[in-house]
Structure formats: C-alpha cells, structure tokens
Structure 1
Amino acid sequence: MAQLWIVAGPNGAGKSTLVERYNPAEPQSLPVVNPDNIHKLYPERGRVYAGREAILQQEAHLSGGTSFIIETTLSGQRELQLVKAARSKGYGINFVYVGLPDPSLSIARIAQRVAAGGHHVPSEDVKRRYPRSLTRLAEFIEVADRVYIFDNSRERSRLLLCRVKGRTRKVASQLPSWLKRAVPRAFQKIDRGMSM
C-alpha cells in the first residue's frame, strides 16, 4: 500500500532535519515534496512557483500511486485536501509533528539556519503560522493511520505521543503545555487492553 508521510510543525522546528535523519539514502528513499527545496533549485522563479510546483509533484505521486513525504507548517488548507485525495486512492496516512514550545524558539532557530546559509522566514510569518499549526494538530490526529508527535525543543527530539489506527499507544510521562493545549485529553491517554 502506498504511504503519504506528512511531516509538520512550525517553521524552524526541525522538520527537514528529521526527514533527512529517517528517510533512508538512495535508492530506497521516499521522494520529499518541499517547496523550500524547490525554491533552492529555482530561486529566480520565486516562492509562488515553488508552491505550485510542490502541488504538481504531490498530484503526480498520487496519480502514480507512489509513496512520498511532504513537509508543511499546517498553516493552510491544502494538506487536508491532500489527505482526502490520498485516502481515496488507498494510501496509508502517516503524520509526524515536530513541536516547539513557542514561536521565539522557532525564530532563534531560523536565525541559526540563516547564519549557516539556510533560508530565512520573516518573524511575522512565524508568529502568524505557529498558533495555526497547533490549532490544526488535532484534525490530523483524527485522520491519520499513524501519528508521531515529537518535542524538538532540546538538542535531541523526544517522542511524546504515538497513535496507531485511532488508539494511543505511547504517551510521555510529562507532556509539554503546548501539546496539552493542542491535543484533546482523550488522545493523551494510552488505550488499555492493547499490546504495545
């Protein structure tokens, strides 16, 4: 069965780093659809082109029935449309959220990225997208077959919550406040009677 992997979180949370770490090297790697990567290849064409090209790549993968990964801040509606289209074609839906406690850490990480030659995201955009991303988190927990939520506020990311086929299988002993606010309480408890 083809798989759609959605790697989401605020700007600067470490989505690309996580994808690079866990997506195996060629030839087994899954294609990654990320407008930032497209923009790096064609900077003269602008970010609007990169966004449109990302949508075309997503549609091509769906038409071909191939597994792929997208990276997103969840600040728009496109991702839910993509999930519906993928589900209608028999895809498994996997959702990975990389969280940070507040937009100030996102902004600081982006500054580090820029200093190392990476791309900039205006602070106003980060502040606007951060709460939208958290608000939409529960929607994706509901529709995904597998969910993994990480806290990436420290040097090493920490798995906070894992859900498989609608059942919570793992919950960290201490959940950060950003996750408690974003995720309904029912999702924060392990479903008993199920083997790990």
Structure 2
Amino acid sequence: MPLLDQRPIMVVIAGPNGAGKSTFFQAHLSGCGLRFVNADILARELDAEPYQAAHLANALRRSLVAQRESFVFETVFSDPVGDKLAFMCESAELGYTVVLCFIGISDVRTSEDRVAMRVSQGGHDVPSQKLAERLPRTLANLKLALVSIPHVWVFDNDDLLTPFRLAAVYERGKPVTIGVVPRWLKPLLP
C-alpha cells in the first residue's frame, strides 16, 4: 500500500468492540514497522485499569504527534464529544497522512458474540450495556469521518469466513471505491 509508505503517517483502526480491530492490525499492518498504540495492551503490560490505560494511550498518541513519529492506534471511536475525530483532523493539519481503517459489524448482537468469544480465549470483557451505548456513537463518528478525514477505508467484518471485506474508500470526502455496501453502512454514506 503506497499510502502507508508516507511519513509521518497516522493509521487509525476504529470500530465497535469485537469488530476485529486488533486482528486487522496483526493481519494487515503489523509488518509495516509502525508503532502500535493500544490501550488494551498498555493495560495488560502495565497492570493498569482500562480508564488509566486509555489516558496513557491518549498521552502517548499526543507525544508521538509532537515528535512527528508515525504510528497506528486502535479506538472504539465512540466518544460522544468527537475528541478522536478532532485529534485526527488536527494531525492532518500538522502534515500527517491520516488513514482511518474502519472495521464494521452489523449490530450489537454480533459485538456481544465476538466479545464473548474473546473472553473465552482469555481476552477482556465489555458489558453488554456499554456495547449497546457505544455502537450508535461509533457509527455517528464514522459518518462525520467520511467527510472530514483525508483517507477512509471501510471494511465489513460481519462474516468471519470472508473477513475485512472492503466496502468503501473515501479520499478527502469523496468516494473513490464503493464495493458491496453492507446494510449497516448504507445510512452513513454521504
């Protein structure tokens, strides 16, 4: 991916809990040589509470931008105040190539099932109520990102037999590739 060769670059892997963000990183980005900022990994490595790890990840991201370092970070993208979206826009204004890789799934039930599968394999849990609260905010932030983030790649990950199916690519708010658009994405497209 020539776009990923640009520096400084910030690649944001966003999507609901259980969508497959960490798996996407391992499958598609881990070999790119970019530092991976992940609050879940920080929490595990530092034996920190999730809230504390999220603050540490935020501080690390800001520090990397101040140093003009390239990196990848993962987010559920469900903040109601648009902080992550603003951070991406600010970074683009500072000269970063900002690429949003959004990993989508169709509903809260899929999120619950995937989180339960992760827990059965020793991963972290997220309460069902939080999953239900986060999904609409995640999709609302994607809708805004499609018109404000320079490079947005949207992947559908509903079907684990055909994971990370490219559904749409937007460049500077304009569609450049539209594949098979999943039901959950249709109302979000500009």
In the aligned structure 1, how far is the partner of 2:177 from the partner of 2:86? 28
In the aligned structure 1, how far is the partner of 2:158 from the partner of 2:97? 29
Does 1:55 find its partner at 2:58?
yes
- Normalising by structure 1, what TM-score? 0.87
Q: Which residue does 2:34 correspond to in 1?
A: 30
In the aligned structure 2, how far is the partner of 1:107 from the partner of 1:167? 33
Q: CA deviation at 1:154?
A: 0.7
AA in 2 matched with 1:11: N
In the aligned structure 2, how far is the partner of 1:32 from the partner of 1:14? 15
Larger Rg: 1
AA in 2 matched with 1:87: A
- Normalising by structure 2, what TM-score? 0.89
Which stretches of structure 1, 4 residues or more, deviate above 2 A after TM superposition?
A: 164-167
Query: Is the partner of 2:43 in helix, strand or coil?
Result: helix
* 2:12 aligns with one of 1, 6, 24: 6
Identity percentage of aligned residues? 30
Q: Which residue does 1:40 correspond to in 2?
A: 44
Q: CA deviation at 1:12?
A: 0.2
How many residue pairs were aligned? Answer: 180
In the aligned structure 1, how far is the partner of 2:89 from the partner of 2:30? 27
Give the unaligned 5+ runs of structure 1.
185-196
AA in 1 matched with 2:90: A
In the aligned structure 2, how far is the partner of 1:182 from the partner of 1:124? 23
In the aligned structure 2, how far is the partner of 1:36 from the partner of 1:154? 24
Give the unaligned 5+ runs of structure 2.
1-6
Q: What per-residue deviation string (whole Å, max 9, x for no partner) do you get for residues 116-136 of structure 1?
A: 111111111111001111111
The Cα RMSD (Å) is 1.4
